Amino acid sequence: MPKPSLIEDNLASQDCADCPIRHRAVCARCESDEMEALEEVKYYRTFQAGQTVIWSGDRMDFVASVVTGIASLTQTMEDGRRQMVGLLLPSDFIGRPGRQTAAYDVTAISDVVMCCFRRKPFEEMMVRTPRIAQRLLEMTLDELDAAREWMLLLGRKTAREKIASLIAIIGRRDAELRLRSTGNDLTFDLPLTREAMADYLGLTLETVSRQISALKRDGVIILEGKRHVTVPDFDRLLEEAGDDTDGGLLV
Amino acid sequence: MPKPSLIEDNLASQDCADCPIRHRAVCARCESDEMEALEEVKYYRTFQAGQTVIWSGDRMDFVASVVTGIASLTQTMEDGRRQMVGLLLPSDFIGRPGRQTAAYDVTAISDVVMCCFRRKPFEEMMVRTPRIAQRLLEMTLDELDAAREWMLLLGRKTAREKIASLIAIIGRRDAELRLRSTGNDLTFDLPLTREAMADYLGLTLETVSRQISALKRDGVIILEGKRHVTVPDFDRLLEEAGDDTDGGLLV
DNA sequence: TGTTCGCTTTGACGTGGATCAACCCAATGC
DNA sequence: GCATTGGGTTGATCCACGTCAAAGCGAACA
């Protein structure tokens, strides 16, 4: 291969300096205009808020990553109890090389743009280009860490701590994406409905609502409308979240 | 490299037919006797039940996999609340290439033998030998799936369902390891104390004890002593666990 | 201006699991 | 034999969160 193909280039490279999304792998703005030629292998799909991307058990012959918007992975029990098991933010990967059916329901929470690769060529490419497997391994390990943090939250935290944790997580991700300096005064939108938060946290939506009201009443957060949050003191929020804050660094 | 080194051979190969542990990567019985020469890179360590393998935050300059025994990954909050976030059974991997401090406490639950590789040479090898990254990716994705199943358990299942799920998981793993046919009558030992089960399930040990008693009273399991379990009807157990059992296959 | 529709909030009440405390039991040591 | 120790069980009580029900509120639309 004299010149790496566009896909390889997109997925193998680490960072993209001139756009707010960290990995070129998933950065739409880094595209050249050779795109159309690759329509067969790489393509974009958009989903509206609330739309289901794929159902658990469905055949899935692509892998993808989120370009913009937010999507969720959820598991559902027969009687309807639901638990979110993954929150897909821009740059997150979805689909598993080597598996052809989806293991979870994937739902667009906001409007979502996804960058998809057909699975077969993607897998072939993985064999040819070792950096991709390594990059994917890195991303998967990050996800595993996040899942384990999440398990602590689900298993041991109180409702109040869960809410505080979620707000902290979203605030942090938001700050990262915007490359804002992590000052002590954050302001951002909650991209989730109360119900989605409940699914995330293993609570009911009523409890979510009550605890948000409580945090507001206690001055931990300031709410404008139902979605817009200002955090006057991030350390205070982390304290409420029960997080280990050895100088702000999570070990 | 004319001949692959022993490490590569051990880690790159897929299955080992003639031993009960699935991956040669971690199978002590597959060793040749060239072992000593590699003492610097690959070595074995044993831990007694209850012994701490490594503390969260400690420097960790090896990666390892479990050969025999059971260990746990746990996270602890400042006030002492504890949540198990990983259960390491034979063939499971521990440590993260590219990270030099442990993110979780690792504790031996039973006596454990680990097969360790010094991190630096291991990482170099990963670059040289693409199959290893691919193999590791596969294993990490499996772990991620397990973590997500676990999240459903922590977030949405009742105490009784949690216990039933745990017994099912252990029973299944046990059956796999022994290559027994998965008949409908399993018998095995619970390798965990009530406290460790509580840490796994996000419960207190009292609740664990009560629910085990309840399952016993209701004939879902039969207990001999405190540890030895017989499951007269595995499907019944799965039902109690709230698991989706479309013909026994988990999607 | 009113009407409907989603989402959210708030209240009243019940309950599953935590907490606190006692006790059991088998293994170990003297 | 007796004491000790560590895991396990069981009971009584409490409270955080789920459940059920009603009402609030902004957006879209007529």
Q: Closest by alpha carbon to A26, among A42, A39, A10, A12? A: A10
Q: In the structure encoding, which two tokens stand for residue B6, read together? A: 């022993």
Place of tokens 């804002």: A180
CA distance A89 to A72: 9
CB-closest option in B133, B140, B156 to A77: B156
Burial class (CB in 10 A: 0-12, 13-18, 19+), A56: middle
pLDDT at B185: 67
Q: β-strand B82-88 against B71-76: which pairing, if any? A: antiparallel
pLDDT at B183: 55
Q: β-strand B222-224 against B228-231: which pairing, if any? A: antiparallel
Q: Domains of chain B, with CATH numbers?
A: 6-151 (2.60.120.10), 157-240 (1.10.10.10)
Confidence of residue A67 (pLDDT cuts 50, 70, 90): confident
Identity of the highest mean pLDDT range in A61-65, B23-27, B179-183: A61-65
pLDDT higher at B50 or A14: B50
Average pLDDT of the residues in B81-98: 90
Q: Closest by alpha carbon to B63, among B9, B5, B117? A: B117
The model's pLDDT over A22-51, given as tens digits with 9 standing for 90+, comes to 334 433 333 333 333 344 567 788 888 888
Torsion B29-B30-B32-B38 (CA) sign: negative
pLDDT above 90 (res A82)? yes
The model's pLDDT over B172-188, given as tens digits with 9 standing for 90+, comes to 888 876 655 555 568 99
CA distance A203 to A182: 29
pLDDT at B40: 56
Report chain C positions within 7 A of protein CB atoms: 7-12, 16-21
CB-CB contact of A64 with A95 (8 Å): yes
Confidence of residue A3 (pLDDT cuts 50, 70, 90): very low
Which positions 45-74 on chain A have a beta carbon less than 7 angstroms from any atom of strand D? none
Nucleic acid strand C within 7 Å of A227 CB:
yes
CA distance B161 to B201: 10
The model's pLDDT over B125-138, given as tens digits with 9 standing for 90+, comes to 778 777 778 888 88
User: What value of ipTM does the predicted structure carry?
Assistant: 0.85
CB-closest option in A83, A133, A251 to B152: A83
Place of tokens 């490419």: A125
Place of tokens 């006030």: B79
Report phi then psi at A100, rounded to 5: -105, 0
Which positions 206-235 on chain B have a beta carbon less than 7 angstroms from any atom of strand D? 206, 208-210, 212-213, 223, 226-227
pLDDT higher at B219 or B97: B219
pLDDT above 90 (res B11)? no
Residue B147 CB neighbours (<10 A) = 21
pLDDT at A179: 59
SS3 state at B76: strand
The model's pLDDT over A121-155, given as tens digits with 9 standing for 90+, comes to 888 878 877 777 888 888 899 999 999 999 999 99
Residue A242 CB neighbours (<10 A) = 21
The model's pLDDT over B29-59, given as tens digits with 9 standing for 90+, comes to 333 333 333 445 677 888 888 889 999 999 9
The model's pLDDT over A177-224, given as tens digits with 9 standing for 90+, comes to 665 555 556 899 999 999 999 999 999 999 999 999 999 999 999 999
A145 contacts B144? CB cut-off 8 A:
no
pLDDT higher at B248 or B226: B226
Confidence of residue B72 (pLDDT cuts 50, 70, 90): very high
